[in-house]
Amino acid sequence: MKRSLTLLAAASLSLAVSSAAMAQAIPKPNPRLVVVISIDQFSANLFAQHRAEFTGGLGRLASQGVVYPNGYQSHAMTETCPGHSTLLTGKHPNKTGISANDWYDASVGRQVYCLGDEAMSLAHDPKGRGVSPKNMVATTYGDWLKTVSPTSRVFGVSGKDRGAITMSGHQADGAFWFVPGFGFTTYVPPGASAEARLKPVAAFNAKLAAELAKRPFTWTYADKSARRCKALEADYETGGRKWRAALPIGPATSEADRLRDLGASPFTDKVTLELAADLRDAYGLGDGPQVDVLTVSLSATDYIGHRYGTRGPEMCDQIARLDSGLGEFLDRIGKARGGVLVVLAADHGGADMAERLQDEGYDYERITTRSWLANLNARLRQDLALAYDPVVADGGINTLDIVGPDRKALPLVERVRIKAAALTLVSRQPEVLEAFDVDSLLMAEAPPADTSPEELSIRERMRRSTYPGRSGDIVIAFKPDLVPATAGPTYVSTHGSPWDYDRRVPIIFWWKDGVSRERILPLDTVDIAPTIAAVTGVTPPADIDGRCRPLGSGHGC
């Protein structure tokens, strides 16, 4: 017995020595270029569904990187703008100020876009809606970096303004997004010229226009995915419209439809990656002694998910093309003279369209939002003897604002009276799991900092999405497997719920010669920025929500 214990102790010591040696063999990355990629609406489910098929860039990241398949956007309002705002600020939306894509400002009686800024103009359209990072009250990793390293360059590229701006931050050297029919655009501050602001992308835009004129893009199956994706073709009826899920997409009947089809196709990601790589080459990002940052938000998966759903032949082909495109992109940015750290995540997840899920046996239903709101207002008019509709949902059906006859803010006593009645009525609706008074959420105590994203209550998730003056009066958590969206000709699926199919996203850290590791426990997207900061020697603000996670060996960063 004594000899057995001695052998067991020796074996344990040998294992400990072996583990220590292995730990010493896993160094941290030492990048001169940090590339952060967000794939819009790239859920953990979508990642898992196609992971075995990845052979390109996604395959390289998934097989060679530090992979967290159970990453989380741990707030409730899982939309593009708030989700992107968490990726490089280290803060939840209740601290970034970006509580939703849109919110209603009852003080002036109108909807506000998350990045709306009337002081700015658009380079491609001076009369268009101006945008900037002004509404985002948090700073990003790129902002922290520039504070200590003014020579560092920070660029953001996306298919959407809210993908480019929220990730690149307040001090970016350039934030550019794709507008079909124009190319890549940006915002123009007062006193600046559109020509000067577009200079970094002018040559690319000219080349893009010439290529499209010579060879217009037609979305057909890629050779590598044709057989597998074609097998998913089927006929559906959504919102009273019968259509076939199949490629190629038919020819457009108008110029507006052609541009819409171009945007909601793999072409958007293709040109976004090409421009990002061109900017790396043109500015020598990662070639100098300083750390540079390149953020890339890929929007096509979201556009395609909304329009065609996430489980059909269209998404199948999109993911295959994205895998290939990311492979070419990684090859190009790998030419940087310094080390390159690549981080991949997503702004939110998303479920498939209700009709296809129903065909698969799931009890998935739609909420017809317009009639739902109309019925709520009709009941309140009757119960409270009102001559007008007191509830608006211009920030989304899960966010309600109490207003007066002029659609502006009411005196406090009347607002409280109507809100109480509305909250009671909403809470009784069979499709509602919970409804919250925003004031109570703002006063709620935050959960302990080490609470797992999986263990957060619905109230705690809602609290992380709530920002004063931007979250309405009542927020709603509809029951799982209910889609609060009406199907339209170009819109069949959505996201935005507090449920895991919308919250769970993959998070991957990759660098050349790194050691592949699968880390199955949950990771929050707010942990990304402090993790990058640690490996590049940057100190984040003291009030961030995230914490650094070790990319090398050991428990600490």
HSE at residue 521, side-chain half, CA atoms within 13 A, is 5
Query: Does residue 502 contact residue 496 with C-beta atoms inside 8 Å?
Result: yes
What proportion of the chain, given as a percentage, has pLDDT over 90?
92
State pLDDT tens for residues 294-353. Answer: 999 999 999 999 999 999 999 999 999 999 999 999 999 999 999 999 999 999 999 999
Q: Which CATH number goes with the domain that contains 527?
A: 3.40.720.10
Q: Tell me the C-alpha distance between 47 and 57, whole Å.
A: 13
Tokens of 172: 């970016």
Q: Tell me the C-alpha distance between 158 and 273, whole Å.
A: 9
Q: Select from 498, 435, 441 the least CA-distant residue to 468.
A: 441
The total of structural domains in the chain comes to 2
State pLDDT tens for residues 81-108. Answer: 999 999 999 999 999 999 999 999 999 9
Q: By CB neighbour count within 10 A (0-12 exposed, 13-18 middle, 19+ buried), where does 151 fall?
A: exposed
Residue 510 falls inside a structural domain: yes
**In which order are the strands placed within the sheet that holds 391-392?**
391-392, 399-402, 474-478, 432-437
How crowded is residue 233: how many other Cβ atoms within 10 Å of its Cβ? 14
Q: Tell me the C-alpha distance between 100 and 113, whole Å.
A: 9
State pLDDT tens for residues 342-356. Answer: 999 999 999 999 999
Q: Which run of H or E residues covers position 298?
A: strand 292-298
State pLDDT tens for residues 62-77. Answer: 999 999 999 999 999 9
Q: What pLDDT is recorded for position 308?
A: 98
> Of 383 and 10, which is predicted with more confidence?
383
State pLDDT tens for residues 28-73. Answer: 899 999 999 999 999 999 999 999 999 999 999 999 999 999 999 9
pLDDT at 4 over 50: no
Q: What pLDDT is recorded for position 14?
A: 40
Tokens of 148: 């200590």
Q: By CB neighbour count within 10 A (0-12 exposed, 13-18 middle, 19+ buried), where does 175 fall?
A: buried
Asked if the bond preceding 93 is cis, omega within 30° of 0, the reply is: no
Q: Select from 33, 24, 44, 82 the least CA-distant residue to 343.
A: 33
pLDDT at 438 over 90: yes
Q: Select from 470, 392, 370, 381 the least CA-distant residue to 421.
A: 381
Q: Select from 337, 342, 360, 264 the least CA-distant residue to 306.
A: 264
Residue 317 falls inside a structural domain: yes
Query: Does residue 205 contact residue 223 with C-beta atoms inside 8 Å?
Result: no
pLDDT at 9 over 70: no
Regarding whether 328 and 464 lie in a shared domain, the answer is no
Q: Mean pLDDT across the stretch 214-241?
A: 95
Residue 10 falls inside a structural domain: no
Q: Tell me the C-alpha distance between 155 and 176, whole Å.
A: 8
Regarding whether 137 and 226 lie in a shared domain, the answer is yes
CA 18 to chain centre: 40
Beta bridge partners of 339: 31
Q: Tell me the C-alpha distance between 502 and 172, whole Å.
A: 29
Is position 80 annotated as part of the catalytic site? yes
Regarding whether 220 and 78 lie in a shared domain, the answer is yes
Q: By CB neighbour count within 10 A (0-12 exposed, 13-18 middle, 19+ buried), where does 210 fall?
A: exposed
Q: What pLDDT is recorded for position 334?
A: 97
Tell me the residue length of the chain: 557
Cα four-point dihedral sign 103, 108, 109, 111 = negative
Task: Give 348-360 as a DSSP string.
Answer: ---PPPHHHHHHT
* Residue tagged active-site, from 80, 186, 295, 399: 80
Last residue of some domain: 453, 483, 513? 483
Q: Which residues contact 391 (CB under 8 A, 6 or more apart)?
A: 373, 376, 377, 380, 400, 401, 402, 403, 422
Q: Tell me the C-alpha distance between 86 and 81, whole Å.
A: 9
Regarding whether 217 and 141 lie in a shared domain, the answer is yes
Regarding whether 441 and 298 lie in a shared domain, the answer is no
Q: Which residue range forms the structural domain that includes residue 336?
A: 31-352+499-535
Mean pLDDT of the chain: 94
Regarding whether 316 and 231 lie in a shared domain, the answer is yes
Residue 540 falls inside a structural domain: no
Query: Does residue 341 contact residue 34 with C-beta atoms inside 8 Å?
Result: yes
Residue 2 falls inside a structural domain: no
Regarding whether 393 and 325 lie in a shared domain, the answer is no
Regarding whether 375 and 312 lie in a shared domain, the answer is no
Residue 547 falls inside a structural domain: no
Q: What pLDDT is recorded for position 18?
A: 41
Regarding whether 462 and 408 lie in a shared domain, the answer is yes
Q: Which CATH number goes with the domain that contains 399?
A: 3.30.1360.150
Regarding whether 298 and 249 lie in a shared domain, the answer is yes
Output the pTM of the full model.
0.94
Number of H helices, E strands in the chain: 20, 22
pLDDT at 461 over 50: yes
Regarding whether 519 and 403 lie in a shared domain, the answer is no
**pLDDT band (50, 70, 90) for residue 25:** low
Q: What pLDDT is recorded for position 250?
A: 86
Q: Select from 43, 69, 101 the least CA-distant residue to 305.
A: 43
Residue 340 sits at φ, ψ, to 5 deg, of -120, 125
Residue 17 falls inside a structural domain: no
State pLDDT tens for residues 124-178. Answer: 999 999 999 999 999 999 999 999 999 999 999 999 999 999 999 999 999 999 9
Q: Tell me the C-alpha distance between 150 and 133, whole Å.
A: 19
pLDDT at 11 over 50: no
Q: What pLDDT is recorded for position 533?
A: 98
Residue 553 falls inside a structural domain: no
Beta bridge partners of 116: 131
Regarding whether 394 and 323 lie in a shared domain, the answer is no
What proportion of the chain, given as a percentage, has pLDDT over 70?
96
Cα four-point dihedral sign 88, 92, 93, 97 = negative
Q: Select from 205, 228, 212 the least CA-distant residue to 267.
A: 212
Residue type, 119: A
Task: Give 503-523 as a DSSP string.
Answer: HEEEEEEEETT---EE--S-E
**pLDDT band (50, 70, 90) for residue 5:** very low
